[in-house]
């Protein structure tokens, strides 16, 4: 097969980053992207707010009831479904992989049975002989966006980045709402292809369905900045409309895999480059500072961490907001002290989404400073090397950033 232009760029960026210690993380992501493209694997995820019927839809598309569904919030772990003989395995945070029977799945991925993920499940991998999965299609069921269970929005957000195509699920029993709009606004540039499915059409009449579809179409076009969107009215329960949706995904899989993969890899590559350039800027600025100055600034960060820790311990609620405030404060302080941008992912919260426990909050707040200190420590190490090495190092990072910018400029543009 002819090597694609984007794969060449991904490989080039991977080679540039793989020996650069400032960009270990970005090199790892670029390596995984390269492998995925070489294998022509396509990841299709079902994403949407809780209870829209994502898992039921997954089962309907697969023609195999492998995913647990329910009236109460169910899916609390990312569940990947791959082609193969029917089997299930649970993967835990500590690296253990445990084969289990399908009947026992909900013990691990239902919020009710595995509260706050006390079992430490990291993901679930299922295999099904469904023809939908043939030829390297990886199907993913995700926890509901904006549900009050911790991290679910974060998990869905992260999975948007890993997906090539997304089935975004809406449902006629609830008009598209602020949480869905906000989520799409933030993530629309992450996946190359969107299929908007509108579920539960069995509970409305034709007239109401038309009104709902017209309303959604208008809103989604506006949101996505396009003239048309792919919309599929379905009932995961009765099976109505499922064939059309399945066919659309499979036809694209056959005809347009290259196109989808290209588009999605370009988006992912842009994300990797931005992150790497950001990281390099971080290094360069600090490296060109006087050693004594750097020490002073490092002390100031320590002081900030200690003050924040004390403040955090005295906190009694609104932890999501407080954590965002800490991140913003750290970013501001770093900007001031090191004259460089230090980006944190700021999680949007709604009253509904506020569920962080104090323990989690303190842990996350500590992590913010740990991460920062790890980066700062590496920079201080550089200051101990001799001047020639430091100068060469600065020249090298400048050159690397220049090359990365060149690749970024050659990528297709994004809609705003």
Point out which residues bind ligand GTP (CB under 6 A): 50-56, 69-71, 73-75, 143-144, 199-200, 202-203, 235-237
Find, among 45, 31, 80, the residue nearest to 268 by Cα: 31
Beta carbon nearer to ligand GTP, 52 or 327: 52
Beta carbon nearer to ligand GTP, 73 or 318: 73
Q: Which entry of Mg ion, ligand GTP, none binds 73, CB below 5 to 8 A by partner kind?
A: ligand GTP
For tokens 């109401």, name the residue.
208
Least Å distance, CB 58 to ligand GTP, is 8
Least Å distance, CB 100 to ligand GTP, is 18
Beta carbon nearer to ligand GTP, 130 or 235: 235
Beta carbon nearer to ligand GTP, 56 or 163: 56
Beta carbon nearer to ligand GTP, 200 or 364: 200
Q: Which entry of ligand GTP, Mg ion, none binds 50, CB below 5 to 8 A by partner kind?
A: ligand GTP
Site residues (vs Mg ion, CB under 5 A):
54-55, 74-75
Least Å distance, CB 76 to ligand GTP, is 8
Q: Which entry of Mg ion, ligand GTP, none binds 65, CB below 5 to 8 A by partner kind?
A: none
Find, among 412, 334, 410, 321, the residue nearest to 371 by Cα: 334
Strand ranges across the sheet with 42-48: 97-100, 87-92, 121-128, 79-83, 137-141, 42-48, 165-171, 193-199, 231-233
Least Å distance, CB 163 to ligand GTP, is 16
Q: Which entry of ligand GTP, Mg ion, none binds 202, CB below 5 to 8 A by partner kind?
A: ligand GTP
Least Å distance, CB 73 to ligand GTP, is 4
Least Å distance, CB 140 to Mg ion, is 11
Beta carbon nearer to ligand GTP, 10 or 57: 57
Q: Which entry of Mg ion, ligand GTP, none binds 56, CB below 5 to 8 A by partner kind?
A: ligand GTP
Least Å distance, CB 132 to Mg ion, is 18
Q: Which entry of Mg ion, ligand GTP, none binds 182, CB below 5 to 8 A by partner kind?
A: none
Beta carbon nearer to Mg ion, 55 or 151: 55
Beta carbon nearer to ligand GTP, 51 or 364: 51
Q: Which entry of Mg ion, ligand GTP, none binds 200, CB below 5 to 8 A by partner kind?
A: ligand GTP
Least Å distance, CB 8 to Mg ion, is 39
């Amino acid at each position: 097969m002819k090597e694609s232009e984007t794969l060449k760029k991904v490989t080039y960026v991977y080679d540039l980053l793989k020996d650069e210690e400032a960009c270990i993380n970005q090199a790892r992501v670029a390596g995984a992207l390269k492998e995925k493209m070489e294998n022509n694997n396509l990841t299709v995820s079902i994403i949407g707010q809780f209870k829209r019927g994502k898992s039921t839809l997954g089962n309907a598309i697969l023609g195999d009831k492998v995913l647990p569904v329910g009236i109460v919030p169910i899916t609390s772990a990312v569940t990947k479904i791959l082609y193969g003989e029917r089997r299930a395995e649970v993967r835990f945070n500590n690296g253990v992989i445990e084969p289990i029977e399908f009947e026992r799945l909900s013990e691990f991925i239902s919020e009710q049975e595995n509260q706050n993920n006390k079992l430490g499940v990291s993901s679930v991998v299922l295999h099904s002989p469904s023809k939908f999965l043939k030829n390297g299609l990886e199907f993913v069921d995700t926890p509901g966006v904006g549900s009050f269970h911790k991290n679910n929005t974060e998990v869905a957000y992260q999975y948007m980045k890993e997906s090539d195509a997304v089935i975004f699920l809406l449902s006629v029993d609830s008009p598209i709402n602020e949480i869905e709009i906000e989520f799409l606004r933030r993530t629309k540039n992450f996946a190359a292809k969107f299929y908007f499915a509108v579920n539960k059409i069995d509970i409305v009449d034709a007239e109401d369905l038309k009104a709902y579809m017209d309303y959604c179409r208008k809103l989604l076009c506006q949101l996505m900045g396009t003239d048309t969107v792919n919309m599929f009215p379905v009932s995961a329960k009765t099976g109505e409309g499922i064939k059309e949706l399945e066919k659309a995904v499979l036809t694209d899989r056959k005809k347009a895999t290259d196109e989808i993969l290209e588009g999605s890899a370009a988006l992912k590559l842009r994300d990797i480059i931005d992150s790497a350039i950001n990281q390099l800027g971080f290094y360069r600025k600090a490296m060109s500072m006087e050693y004594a100055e750097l020490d002073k600034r490092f002390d100031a960060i320590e002081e900030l961490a200690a003050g924040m820790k004390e403040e955090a311990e005295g906190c009694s609620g609104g932890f999501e907001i407080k954590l965002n405030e800490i991140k913003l404060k750290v970013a501001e302080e770093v900007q001031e002290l090191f004259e460089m941008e230090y980006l944190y992912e700021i999680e949007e919260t709604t009253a509904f989404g506020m569920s962080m426990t104090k323990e989690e909050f303190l842990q996350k707040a500590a992590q913010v400073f740990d991460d920062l200190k790890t980066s700062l420590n590496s920079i201080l190490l550089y200051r101990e090397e001799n001047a020639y090495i430091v100068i060469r190092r600065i020249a090298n990072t400048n050159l690397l950033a220049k090359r990365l910018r060149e690749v970024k400029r050659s990528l297709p543009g994004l809609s705003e």
